[in-house]
Structure 1
């Protein structure tokens, strides 16, 4: 029996990741914050939300002891926090400043891995906070990683579709194309498989991707005989890209979440679906649907205040409350009304409010049209026809990005960081996905 215990709706934007410790739940979001909850009653802790990142937070994870929380962001940093006090312990900057997509602690808490949009993977010493080893992949951004239960292996997954296996010295042991349109997540079963010879460890690995599939793999490794990755089987059930997968603590179940708005729990022994959860009313990825658009128009004044906090505009909460600005009024604010009616004198503040409102409207418009958000160019906010990958790891419409560069903008449109290169690489897998979507949805 699976039942809903609690719904948490404190973030002001898409929730990108969740993580458990023995006593806490952590969630992170595109609203730049990390929130912490007590598992005893799911109340938010006094020092939550945690704020440092200047761009979207993509991933968070606890150390095995649960004392330290790591978070990583588009701003190119990985931050370590005290889970009990919320104090920032250190800030680790990814080499090159590339947006960091994923972070994971090793089982013994000695190391923290961080993977970035430029394909780099860094192993940090979690005690000294110094860079220990690093590596990289050539095809795509690193979006997933997982340590084997004994910490001897690290597996990374890329947006190019590859699973890459590294040893504890960050030497590449193996790389294999696993998912056609890109890997989205991977996870090791916490318990080794039985039947291995002396000195030979067998582990089960799960991966999922944009191809709507979950794949199971068997990993074997010994320093004498070497490494082997064998495909075992495919779990199906989702009809859209699968964004996340995770084993239960005993390795007997696997859970997956998909863009099709469902969560499926599988029995690993029989490889059959035990439960399908369909309570989500928006994509599990967190995209904003027509229903959410209606909810924004129905926002209360308190909801607008929460949104202002999430945008870093706390100083305007009093002004908005004094003028009874609710969701409908928010969507109709103009530069004239901000200056004249709300008496906001700062040009910078007015501009920031308008930009935030335009981002809200743009996301509503693109998603209400039914077009997947990953098919929308971040610059034009229109369906891409000739998508390319820039050196920041993001995809754009070629003409729009070329125009951006011609205007002598050497910075990324998404991260505002300096682009390490102006080379634009055709994103053929994304173009194929867009063409497939067009064939299905445009008759």
Structure 2
């Protein structure tokens, strides 16, 4: 039986990835944040959310000991966090400054691999956070990566549908160039290692993919030096499969799909055990807890569901489930309601509006200081650590961090406020003020796309293809539509 334990609804945009350690659950989202929860009661840790990224966060992974958490983002960085304090331990800038779509830590926590939208791979020495070497495949986007249990081999998958095996010198050990015709969206090694002839290791590898002609599933392969061998094909879902994960003993496999379902398989016998249908949109993330019978699933519905498995997961689905504690849920709801009171017009808030917001957020002690500095909504959105210390004289590091988190949540609230998606800049995911059309045909906030062009070697944020020109054309029609929508709301 698989029963729903609780639903976490703290993210303000699509949930892109989730990962368990022995004691924690980490999730990341298009809202630029990483959130960390205790698996004891799934309460959010005091230092969460982590807000070190400038753009969408695509992947998170724990070190084996659980002391560190790595996250990667469109901002071309992989950030290493302390799970004890929430502090940033290191910021690893990807060579070429291309958007980082995937990151993976080796089981021995010695190496970290990051893969980018330009097809490059970066191998890092994790203890020293030093770049060891780069490699990769041109003209594709790396979106999947997993280390073998022995930590000496890792697999990657790309949007071109290729599945490749690499050693730590970034030599290709094997490649299946047409593993999936519409792209490999995820791949994962089973945690156990099977013995084979001549005492060679045969890790079980399961890539998730986007199928054609209505077929769906995963292909499990075993690694024999220089060769990938098909073991079985799982077809329990009716649409593209976006994520997959093995249980800690390698006996179960979970996957999430565009059809909004979560499937659980007997991995050894390739048998479908259960289908869960609680999410309202695409299931983009899934993972098993390494120490308890729990599964976390994340979705484009902005939620993370926690499931408990019992009796080998062979029963029927429990449609209901224990929700978060009522008091906690109510507090969270009230906080979001106050923060989103004037979501779209924060930049137009008066000084009095800002004062009311501070009181609602429990920061009434700052009201007089903000009034003395004539802080309106526009100034509120521009706050930095430096201005808080120098201009407002806030000496407490904790208070500055708390205020900046609240401001960031205020910005991100626009994502879940019902704004038409075409009004949001694809880079910042914020309401556009000066929309412009780039050479790729997409509209962006002028400042955001200009910064992108200056730092991303003139590649498109949406397609990763070269921009034929850096000319930006004002999108007057879109600007008028945004203005009309703001007035009506």
Q: What is the TM-score with the length of structure 1 in the denominator?
A: 0.72
Q: Is the 8 A contact 2:220 2:233 kept in 1?
A: no
Q: Does 1:82 align with 2:120?
A: no
Report 1:177-196 matches (<5 A).
177-194=178-195, 196=196
Q: Which residue of 1 aligns with 2:93?
A: 93
Equivalent-residue separation in structure 2 for 1:229 and 1:143 (angstroms): 19
Q: Does 1:32 align with 2:45?
A: no
1:110 deviation in Å? 0.4
Secondary structure, counterpart of 2:4 in structure 1: coil
What do the CA deviations read for 1:305-324 (whole angstroms, capped 9, x no partner)? 4559999x79979837949x
Describe the shift of the 1:315–1:124 C-alpha distance in structure 2 as closer, same or farther (beyond 3 A).
Answer: farther
Q: Does 1:418 align with 2:478?
A: no
Describe the shift of the 1:365–1:119 C-alpha distance in structure 2 as closer, same or farther (beyond 3 A).
Answer: closer
Equivalent-residue separation in structure 2 for 1:60 and 1:76 (angstroms): 14
1:5 deviation in Å? 0.6
Q: Which residue of 2 aligns with 1:243?
A: 242
Equivalent-residue separation in structure 2 for 1:425 and 1:9 (angstroms): 31
Secondary structure, counterpart of 1:96 in structure 2: helix
Q: Which residue of 2 aligns with 1:142?
A: 142
What do the CA deviations read for 1:107-145 (whole angstroms, capped 9, x no partner)? 110011101111111110001111012111124200000
Secondary structure, counterpart of 1:207 in structure 2: strand
Structure with greater contact order relative to length (CA < 8 Å, sep ≥ 6): 2
Equivalent-residue separation in structure 1 for 2:300 and 2:33 (angstroms): 17
Equivalent-residue separation in structure 1 for 2:259 and 2:83 (angstroms): 33
Secondary structure, counterpart of 1:303 in structure 2: helix
1:13 deviation in Å? 1.5
Secondary structure, counterpart of 1:189 in structure 2: strand
What do the CA deviations read for 1:144-203 (whole angstroms, capped 9, x no partner)? 000111012110000111111111211112221211111100000111234x12331112
Equivalent-residue separation in structure 1 for 2:342 and 2:71 (angstroms): 20
Q: Is the 8 A contact 1:412 1:418 kept in 2?
A: no
Q: Is the 8 A contact 1:411 1:419 kept in 2?
A: no
Q: Which residue of 2 aligns with 1:319?
A: 353
Q: Which residue of 2 aligns with 1:275?
A: 274
Q: Which residue of 2 aligns with 1:220?
A: 223
Describe the shift of the 1:151–1:361 C-alpha distance in structure 2 as closer, same or farther (beyond 3 A).
Answer: same
Describe the shift of the 1:404–1:278 C-alpha distance in structure 2 as closer, same or farther (beyond 3 A).
Answer: closer
Q: Is the 8 A contact 1:288 1:364 kept in 2?
A: no
Structure 1 gaps of 5+ residues are 290-298, 324-341, 367-375, 382-398, 428-443
Describe the shift of the 1:39–1:12 C-alpha distance in structure 2 as closer, same or farther (beyond 3 A).
Answer: same
Q: Is the 8 A contact 2:60 2:72 kept in 1?
A: yes
Secondary structure, counterpart of 1:279 in structure 2: coil
Q: Is the 8 A contact 1:99 1:415 kept in 2?
A: no
Equivalent-residue separation in structure 2 for 1:425 and 1:52 (angstroms): 23
Q: Which residue of 2 aligns with 1:262?
A: 261
Secondary structure, counterpart of 2:96 in structure 1: helix
Q: Which residue of 1 aligns with 2:487?
A: none
333, 336, 342: which is aligned to 1:303? 336
Q: Is the 8 A contact 2:280 2:301 kept in 1?
A: no
Secondary structure, counterpart of 1:198 in structure 2: helix
Describe the shift of the 1:201–1:57 C-alpha distance in structure 2 as closer, same or farther (beyond 3 A).
Answer: same
1:411 deviation in Å? 8.0
1:365 deviation in Å? 7.5
Report 1:100-115 matches (<5 A).
100-115=100-115
Describe the shift of the 1:402–1:27 C-alpha distance in structure 2 as closer, same or farther (beyond 3 A).
Answer: closer
Secondary structure, counterpart of 2:75 in structure 1: coil
Q: Is the 8 A contact 2:15 2:300 kept in 1?
A: no
Q: Which residue of 1 aligns with 2:131?
A: 131
Task: Tell me the number of residue pairs that the alignment of Structure 1 and Structure 2 aligns.
Answer: 365
1:282 deviation in Å? 2.4
Q: Is the 8 A contact 1:214 1:242 kept in 2?
A: yes
Moved more, 109-118 or 229-238: 229-238
423, 431, 439: which is aligned to 1:401? 439
1:256 deviation in Å? 0.1
1:418 deviation in Å? 3.3
Equivalent-residue separation in structure 1 for 2:22 and 2:98 (angstroms): 32
Secondary structure, counterpart of 2:226 in structure 1: strand
Q: Which residue of 2 aligns with 1:287?
A: 300
Report 1:354-369 matches (<5 A).
357=414, 361=418, 363=420
Q: Is the 8 A contact 1:411 1:417 kept in 2?
A: no
Q: Which residue of 1 aligns with 2:388?
A: none
Describe the shift of the 1:426–1:22 C-alpha distance in structure 2 as closer, same or farther (beyond 3 A).
Answer: closer
Equivalent-residue separation in structure 1 for 2:2 and 2:34 (angstroms): 27
Equivalent-residue separation in structure 2 for 1:40 and 1:257 (angstroms): 24
Secondary structure, counterpart of 1:46 in structure 2: coil
Secondary structure, counterpart of 2:102 in structure 1: strand
Q: What is the TM-score with the length of structure 2 in the denominator?
A: 0.65
Q: Which residue of 1 aligns with 2:50?
A: 50
Equivalent-residue separation in structure 1 for 2:250 and 2:451 (angstroms): 38
Q: Is the 8 A contact 1:241 1:258 kept in 2?
A: yes
Secondary structure, counterpart of 2:239 in structure 1: coil
Structure 2 gaps of 5+ residues are 285-298, 303-331, 358-374, 383-407, 430-436, 467-489
Q: Is the 8 A contact 2:28 2:35 kept in 1?
A: yes
